[in-house]
């Protein structure tokens, strides 16, 4: 596949004289990373995709995946074929691997502002730690889920989930080709997929894109005559800065993060990528009828889910209903859009890697390619992330470390994203202490460096199983009362918060079709896995109960529960307002 023309433009431009000196952070230690042609610290390039499952070449997730550039990258380093996320939804996954701290350690299992979390705000992120040890940290796109700018010396573009269809009202709309009820049930993000195409006058729509706070019109006349998408802008930014680094051997080492939103919904990319996957040629994943009958995720839905049922199940059922009950056609439509979105990202990765591989950066730049979590494509009648099954937890993970990793190596051991941070510190020779003060926590993961040097090997300090938690909306997360999965080399064990269990012999049942948890021959193994899981998570941390003697803390808690108590709407709850509102509530009892 040719490299995207928006990237090619920058590859043809010689960038000269732009290597202006960049300020070091206040806590940086210049001596720890020499800024010269003979520096002893490698650069780091971290490429993160959103919602990318194993639908890339070499991982076997889908036989029609078209990812030649990602394949080349995977084959130039070590690919971890059983790499898993630590929680299969965006914010807590990124909070976890960017800080190297498990959700059960930090108690960030959901979409709260994790920079206000006591553990995480007192523990350094990857980029902050590298900055503190002499690196220039720069990033663009969706690397973290929020608060990106404050972590970097230099920041490119914010997360951009577009393109969106726009009808001139207050909100974005789903792609006009998506039928109801799917478009109505899930809206402009999850309920939207289709090619970026010329909009017809009768559709009365335009395209727009941008971050959540500010959006702009995206001009489209054809695939060759249009504005760049958000992902393309991020790739262009990365290409430009990498070219500048390549031409300045005296610059200090860099830590660069590039976050691509695709294949996160809305699955809208240029028409040429859809053309790679004719609809009638799309192959469906292997799906067993009634496969969800012996599973228990539906038993732990939250109040947020209960309004419409488990989201993944409802997305599947709504999509099928939108195509007249034709499940095959419905899934083909969605899978076509997913494959097209992955192919578009592959093109952008190719442009970035072309700069690396054709410059001096090739020999002193560590490259990591991964995703925050996977996505189910109809297996177990589920179309979403956020499950503890293989489709949601497995992610691509490739690490290319010059002089260390074995080209073409594949490691079958179960590892997880929690291991990225300690691996980079090991490879770059940086201190492993990322705790800022006594309120922070040390890294939970283990270095993958031994497996980079010997991919078929089994000798490393990490555990035998990758640990994944499940997101469920809550006001407070007691880590001992959550749902978890352990993915061993040949087995998967799931324990839900209500004690229900699933057990799959993945060596013989890679699709996780048969839950063996209730089969007597596996009782002893079940007991062993249960103990291993419970030994890895902390004891219960019940939510502190505010009391009236807590004063302001009690009032703040009441305000969160009853924001309407703020009678004058000034954003502050006074004691008289609280007393008046509480009296009103008591009168209704």
Distances (CA, A) of 265 to 342, 404, 440: 12, 36, 34
Q: How many CB atoms sit inside 10 A of residue 354's CB?
A: 17
What is the separation of C-alpha 458 from the centre of its chain, rounded to a whole number of angstroms?
27
The position carrying tokens 């006009």 is 176
Structure tokens at 126: 């990857």
Please state the φ and ψ torsions of residue 81, each to the nearest 5 degrees.
-80, -10
10 Å CB burial of residue 355 (0-12, 13-18, 19+) is: buried
Distances (CA, A) of 387 to 312, 339, 417: 8, 21, 17
SS3 content of the chain, % helix, strand, coil (to 5): 35, 15, 50
Q: Which of 330, 349, 297 is nearest to 141 (CA)?
A: 349
Q: What is 5-297+310-536's CATH topology?
A: Alkaline Phosphatase, subunit A (3.40.720)
Whether residue 483 contacts residue 469, with contact meaning beta carbons closer than 8 Å, is answered with yes
Question: Where does CATH 3.40.720.10 sit in the chain?
Answer: 5-297+310-536
Strand positions, DSSP E, 380-419: 394-395, 397-400, 409-411, 415-416
pTM for the whole structure: 0.87
Whether residue 367 contacts residue 77, with contact meaning beta carbons closer than 8 Å, is answered with yes
| Pairing of the two strands 43-49 and 365-371 | parallel
Sequential pLDDT tens for the chain (589 residues): 444 444 444 444 333 333 333 333 334 444 445 433 446 899 999 999 999 999 999 999 999 999 999 999 999 999 999 999 999 999 999 999 999 999 999 999 998 888 889 999 999 999 999 999 999 999 999 998 766 788 899 999 999 999 999 998 889 999 999 999 999 999 999 999 999 999 999 999 999 998 777 899 999 999 999 999 999 999 999 999 999 999 998 889 999 999 999 999 999 999 999 999 999 999 999 999 999 999 999 999 765 554 446 899 999 999 999 999 999 999 999 999 999 999 999 999 999 999 999 999 999 999 999 999 999 999 999 999 999 999 999 999 999 999 999 999 999 999 999 999 999 999 999 999 999 999 999 999 999 999 999 999 999 999 999 999 999 988 899 999 999 999 999 999 999 999 999 999 999 999 999 999 999 999 999 999 999 999 999 999 998 876 655 577 778 878 888 888 888 877 788 888 888 888 887 766 5
């Amino acid at each position: 596949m040719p490299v995207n023309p928006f990237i090619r433009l920058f590859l043809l431009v010689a960038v000269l004289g732009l290597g202006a000196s960049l300020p070091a952070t206040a806590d940086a230690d210049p001596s720890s990373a020499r800024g010269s042609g003979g520096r002893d610290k490698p650069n780091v390039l971290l490429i993160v995709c959103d919602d990318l499952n194993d639908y890339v070449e070499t991982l076997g997730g889908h036989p029609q995946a078209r990812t030649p550039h990602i394949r080349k990258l995977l084959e130039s380093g070590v690919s971890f074929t059983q790499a898993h996320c630590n929680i299969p939804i965006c914010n807590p996954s990124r909070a976890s691997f960017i800080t190297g701290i498990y959700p059960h350690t930090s108690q960030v299992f959901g979409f709260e502002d994790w920079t206000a979390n006591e553990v995480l705000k007192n523990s350094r992120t990857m980029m902050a730690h590298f900055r503190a040890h002499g690196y220039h940290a720069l990033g663009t796109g969706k690397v973290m889920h929020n608060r990106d700018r404050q972590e970097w010396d230099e920041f490119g573009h914010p997360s951009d989930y577009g393109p969106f269809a726009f009808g001139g009202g207050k909100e974005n709309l789903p792609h006009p080709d998506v039928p109801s009820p799917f478009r109505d049930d899930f809206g402009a993000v999850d309920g939207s997929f289709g090619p970026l195409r010329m909009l017809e006058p009768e559709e009365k729509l335009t395209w727009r894109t941008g971050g959540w706070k500010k959006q702009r019109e995206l001009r489209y006349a054809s695939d060759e005559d249009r504005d760049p998408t958000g992902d393309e802008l991020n790739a262009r930014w990365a290409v430009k800065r990498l070219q500048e680094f390549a031409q300045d051997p005296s610059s200090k080492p860099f830590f660069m993060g590039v976050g691509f939103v695709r294949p996160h919904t809305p699955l809208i990319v240029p028409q040429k990528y859809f053309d790679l996957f004719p609809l009638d040629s799309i192959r469906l994943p292997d799906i067993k009828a009634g496969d969800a009958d012996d599973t228990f995720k539906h038993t732990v839905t939250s109040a947020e889910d209960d309004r419409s049922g488990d989201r993944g199940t409802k997305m599947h059922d709504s999509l099928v209903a939108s195509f007249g009950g034709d499940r095959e056609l419905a899934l083909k439509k969605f899978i076509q859009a997913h494959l097209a979105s992955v192919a578009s990202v592959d093109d952008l990765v190719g442009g970035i890697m072309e700069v690396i591989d054709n410059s001096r950066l090739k020999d002193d730049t560590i490259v990591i390619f991964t995703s925050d979590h996977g996505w189910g494509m109809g297996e177990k009648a589920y179309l979403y992330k956020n499950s503890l099954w293989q489709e949601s937890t497995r992610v691509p993970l490739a690490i290319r470390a010059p002089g260390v990793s074995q080209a073409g190596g594949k490691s079958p051991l179960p590892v997880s994203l929690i291991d990225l941070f300690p691996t980079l510190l090991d490879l770059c020779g940086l201190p492993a202490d990322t705790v800022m003060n006594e309120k922070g926590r040390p890294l939970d993961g283990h270095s993958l460096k031994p497996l980079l040097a010997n991919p078929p090997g089994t000798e490393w300090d990490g555990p035998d199983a990758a640990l994944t938690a499940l997101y469920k909306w809550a006001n407070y997360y007691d880590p001992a009362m959550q749902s978890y999965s352990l993915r061993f080399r040949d087995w998967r064990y799931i324990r839900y918060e209500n004690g229900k269990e699933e057990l799959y012999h993945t060596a013989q049942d890679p699709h996780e079709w048969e839950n063996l948890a209730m089969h007597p021959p596996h009782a002893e193994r079940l007991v062993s896995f249960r103990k291993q899981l419970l030994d890895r998570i902390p004891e219960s941390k019940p939510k502190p109960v505010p009391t009236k003697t807590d004063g302001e803390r009690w009032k703040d808690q009441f305000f969160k529960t009853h924001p309407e108590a703020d009678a004058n709407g000034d954003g502050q709850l006074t004691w008289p307002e609280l007393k008046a509102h509480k009296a009103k509530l008591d009168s209704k009892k």
